[in-house]
């Protein structure tokens, strides 16, 4: 077994699947668009509340770790450390959104329901990994990336939302 195929304890690490490569590239694309939007919105940064900035910070870090985590071989201490950090960032992101209410109606939206779902699911992703329920862990982590990062991330750009306004002017 090569040094790249085994972790420190001699256990085999899973290779990176084509699905993970595609998800990683999609997360990278979204990360780039988010960073461009933030850069283009520089003139309006002072208008964004600190909770929005906290949300942006946690989600940008989670997206960056998603790219790294999905591109690397699975298993091993580095995978676990990145995964734990990712879980904490996703939980923090969801928690922060519960305190961000709509500017138009002052109420909650469907995205707030997603936040509650994320706060339930991300610990379950970590628990599944800890219990070595690898297939369950992988399915749940991929679903979280698709639903909570990529799809929800896409919907931050239309409908006069902050990043969309910054990106498209």
Would you say 95 and 118 are in contact if contact means Cβ atoms under 8 Å apart?
no
Rounded (5°) CA angle 70-112-124: 45
What lies within 8 Å, CB to CB, of 115 at 6+ separation is 93, 94, 95, 97, 98
Q: Is residue 1 part of a domain?
A: no
Look at residue 164 and give its three-state secondary structure: helix
Write out pLDDT tens, residues 104-154: 556 777 778 889 999 999 999 999 999 999 999 999 999 999 999 999 888
CA atoms of 123 and 125, how far apart (whole Å): 5
Measured CA to CA in angstroms, residue 123 lies from 19, 67, 83 at distances of 23, 20, 11
Residue 165 has pLDDT above 90, yes or no: yes
Residue 60 has pLDDT above 70, yes or no: yes
Q: Is residue 69 part of a domain?
A: yes
Q: Domain of 44? A: 18-168
CA atoms of 45 and 78, how far apart (whole Å): 35
Burial environment of residue 16 by CB neighbours within 10 A (0 to 12, 13 to 18, 19 or more): middle
DSSP structure string for 73-119: PBSHHHHHHHHHHHHHHHHHHHHHHTT---TTTSS--HHHHHHHHHH
Burial environment of residue 68 by CB neighbours within 10 A (0 to 12, 13 to 18, 19 or more): middle
Q: Is residue 5 part of a domain?
A: no
Helical packing angle, 134-144 and 110-130, nearest 10°: 160
Domain count across the chain: 1
Q: Is residue 162 part of a domain?
A: yes
Residue 61 has pLDDT above 60, yes or no: yes
Query: What's this model's pTM, rounded to 2 decimal places?
Result: 0.87
Q: Is residue 6 part of a domain?
A: no
Q: Is residue 13 part of a domain?
A: no
């Amino acid at each position: 077994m090569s040094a790249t195929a085994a972790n420190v304890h001699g256990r085999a690490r899973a290779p990176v699947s084509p699905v993970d490569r595609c998800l990683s590239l999609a997360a990278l694309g979204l990360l780039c668009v988010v960073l461009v939007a933030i850069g283009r919105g520089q003139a309006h940064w002072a208008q964004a509340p600190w909770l929005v900035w906290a949300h942006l910070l946690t989600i940008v870090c989670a997206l960056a770790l998603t790219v790294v985590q999905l591109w690397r071989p699975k298993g091993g201490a580095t995978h676990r450390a990145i995964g734990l950090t990712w879980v904490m960032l996703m939980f923090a992101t969801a928690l922060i959104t519960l305190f961000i209410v709509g500017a138009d109606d002052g109420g909650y939206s469907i995205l707030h329901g997603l936040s509650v779902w994320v706060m339930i699911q991300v610990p379950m992703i970590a628990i599944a990994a800890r219990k070595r329920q690898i297939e369950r862990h992988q399915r749940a982590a991929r679903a979280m990336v698709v639903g909570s990062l990529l799809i929800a991330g896409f919907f931050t750009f239309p409908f006069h939302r902050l990043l969309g306004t910054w990106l498209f002017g």
